[in-house]
Amino acid sequence: MGSLNLVPASVEDYRRLANKRLPQFLFDYLDGGSYAETTLKNNVADYQKLNLVQTVMRDVSSIDTSSSKLGAVSAMPISLAPIGMAGMFGRRGELQAKQAADAAGIPFTLSTVGICSLEEVAAISNIPFWFQLYMLKDRGAVQEMLQRARDVGVSTLLFTVDLAVLGARYRDKRNGMSGGINTLGKLRSGLDLLSKWSWIQEVGLRGKPHTFGNLANYVPNASRPDDFQAWITQQVDPSVTWKDIEWLRSIWSGQLIIKGVLNPTDAALAIKSGADGIVVSNHGGRQLDCVSSTINALPAIKDAIGDTGTLIVDGGIRSGQDVFKALAQGADHTLIGRPWVYALAAQGQKGVYDTLTAFRSELEISMALTGVTRIEQIDHSVIESK
Ligand SMILES: Cc1cc2nc3c(=O)[nH]c(=O)nc-3n(C[C@H](O)[C@H](O)[C@H](O)COP(=O)(O)O)c2cc1C
């Protein structure tokens, strides 16, 4: 017998609701990956290949999911990953997500290409958040943005390095996001949009302005995300090397985390170049397809850097159990991307908060039934490969 489906219980449930609510081109932009989406699928599937080791008769009456690896105490080792244009998935989406993250006691990360600006997010509360930086050819703009980040109290910077060139996504091409649609295509896209009336009202009309808040000064005549996308495409700097970390270090004294590392050599170079940590990431399977899933890449990277830097992983994490598995494979902390945006699109701030509450409960239950009570106790012994 089928279930009533009255309340979303899993990330997949929120994903389905997001699919109903969002215009097709936006859902696909969020949900999709590059090319055949092999890495996107493997990011998720490879978590399923790890079993937990059930362990009984331990005193698990008091479970503590808090973690303090990154200086500040976090209620659990999870942060919201930076998502460009999050404000297109929910009204002023970055603000709703920040409020949910504050309530759940975990960090929110604002993307360089967020709809809301650093200042708008900072005005929500005085709880600090993280900022994600793309290196732009316009280094003056980079310097100014970092100054603004400092001014609003950001102390952790994620510097994303896996976007030297832009990966191509077939779904975006098919939906005309990369241009080239004919009149019939425009008509079909318009009809789809009209069928998403609640999104039009809530986000399309009440969620304006749809500018990239952090970049508005640099692209003065832009009023739609497309105008900014064009600017970003020509601003992405493919000449960046480890040498540029020195420059970044000279203008950023806070924590510096390099996001988008997927092999042990790069991981060691990142730490050597002066980073405090790395995010093992393949950009959620959106850049180079057919690279390793992040959970598979993790153990060798842990071996390479040991305890010399904070090790964060993202990609394919869809439950608190996956967070537990990531920690068991050597991660200190995790980021979740699509899960929070599906929830935002489906149910706004409440959806994001409920998702985080579910992740915490799943993490607690995984800990209790494998016989560990503190985050630091999670190691290889609690999992096995299938
Ligand atoms: C729609 C979308 C937009 C993203 N935008 C950014 C971004 O602006 N900056 C960045 O560093 N990563 C960006 N990412 C990658 C995420 O930060 C993260 O690495 C990835 O989503 C993790 O995989 P998951 O979605 O499976 O959790 C984006 C991902 C998605 C799905």
Q: If you average pLDDT over every residue of the chain, what do you get? A: 96
Strand order in 310-314's β-sheet? 78-80, 333-336, 310-314, 277-280, 255-261, 156-160, 130-134, 109-110
Q: How far is the CA of 89 from the centre of ligand 1 (A)?
A: 14
Q: Determine whether the shortest distance from the Cβ of 214 to ligand 1 is under 6 A.
A: no
Q: Whose alpha carbon is nearest atom 28 of ligand 1?
A: 83
Residues 38/173, Cβ–Cβ less than 8 Å: no
- Token look-up 């699109």 returns 345
Average pLDDT of span 272-283: 97
Q: Determine whether the shortest distance from the Cβ of 84 to ligand 1 is under 6 A.
A: yes
Q: What is the pLDDT of residue 350?
A: 98
Q: Whose alpha carbon is nearest atom 31 of ligand 1?
A: 30
pTM of the model: 0.97
pLDDT band of residue 246 (cuts 50, 70, 90) is very high
Q: Is the pLDDT of residue 11 over 90?
A: yes
User: Which one from 210, 283, 333, 380 is the annotated catalytic residue?
Assistant: 283
The per-residue pLDDT for range 76-86, each reduced to its tens digit, is: 999 999 999 99
Q: How far is the CA of 353 from the centre of ligand 1 (A)?
A: 19
Q: What is the pLDDT of residue 70?
A: 79
Q: Determine whether the shortest distance from the Cβ of 326 to ligand 1 is under 6 A.
A: no
Q: Determine whether the shortest distance from the Cβ of 81 to ligand 1 is under 6 A.
A: yes
Both tokens of 216, joined, read 């508005």
Q: How far is the CA of 4 from the centre of ligand 1 (A)?
A: 32
Q: Is the pLDDT of residue 314 over 70?
A: yes
Residues 346/198, Cβ–Cβ less than 8 Å: no
Substitution candidate for ligand 1 out of 94, 283, 288 with most atoms within 8 A of CB: 283
pLDDT band of residue 133 (cuts 50, 70, 90) is very high
The per-residue pLDDT for range 334-351, each reduced to its tens digit, is: 999 999 999 999 999 999
Among the residue ranges 121-130, 180-189, 303-312, the one predicted with the least confidence is 180-189
Substitution candidate for ligand 1 out of 34, 83, 258, 325 with most atoms within 8 A of CB: 83
Residues 329/77, Cβ–Cβ less than 8 Å: no
Q: Is the pLDDT of residue 2 over 90?
A: no
Which domains are assigned to the chain? 11-169+232-385 (3.20.20.70)
Average pLDDT of span 45-53: 98
Q: What is the DSSP string of 300-313?
A: HHHHHHTTSSEEEE
Average pLDDT of span 361-365: 98
Q: Whose alpha carbon is nearest atom 4 of ligand 1?
A: 83
Cα distances (angstroms) measured from residue 43 to each of 158, 317, 318, 326: 21, 8, 10, 12
Give per-residue burial for 61-97: e unless 16+ CB within 10 Å, then b. eebebebebbeeebbbbbbbbbbbbbbbbbbbbbbbb
The per-residue pLDDT for range 175-226, each reduced to its tens digit, is: 888 777 888 888 898 999 999 999 999 999 999 999 999 999 999 888 888 8
Q: How far is the CA of 84 from the centre of ligand 1 (A)?
A: 7
- Token look-up 């939906």 returns 175
% of the chain surpassing 90 pLDDT: 88
pLDDT band of residue 310 (cuts 50, 70, 90) is very high
Residues 46/295, Cβ–Cβ less than 8 Å: yes
Whether 380 is catalytic = no
Question: Which residues, in sequence order, are CB contacts of 357 under 8 Å at separation 6+?
Answer: 104
Question: Which residues, in sequence order, are CB contacts of 60 under 8 Å at separation 6+?
Answer: 367, 368, 369, 371, 372, 373
Q: Is the pLDDT of residue 1 over 60?
A: no
pLDDT band of residue 40 (cuts 50, 70, 90) is very high
Q: What's the start-to-end Cα distance of the chain, in Å?
A: 30
Q: Is the pLDDT of residue 321 over 70?
A: yes
Q: Determine whether the shortest distance from the Cβ of 34 to ligand 1 is under 6 A.
A: no
Instruction: Provide the Cα torsion 69, 70, 76, 77; round to 10°.
Output: -80
Average pLDDT of span 138-147: 97
Q: Determine whether the shortest distance from the Cβ of 28 to ligand 1 is under 6 A.
A: no
Cα(155)–Cα(157) distance, rounded to whole angstroms? 7
Residues 286/163, Cβ–Cβ less than 8 Å: no
Cα(360)–Cα(349) distance, rounded to whole angstroms? 17
pLDDT band of residue 72 (cuts 50, 70, 90) is confident
Question: Which residues, in sequence order, are CB contacts of 297 under 8 Å at separation 6+?
Answer: 262, 263, 280
Residues 119/98, Cβ–Cβ less than 8 Å: no
Compute φ and ψ for 312, nearest 5 degrees.
-115, 145
Average pLDDT of span 138-151: 97
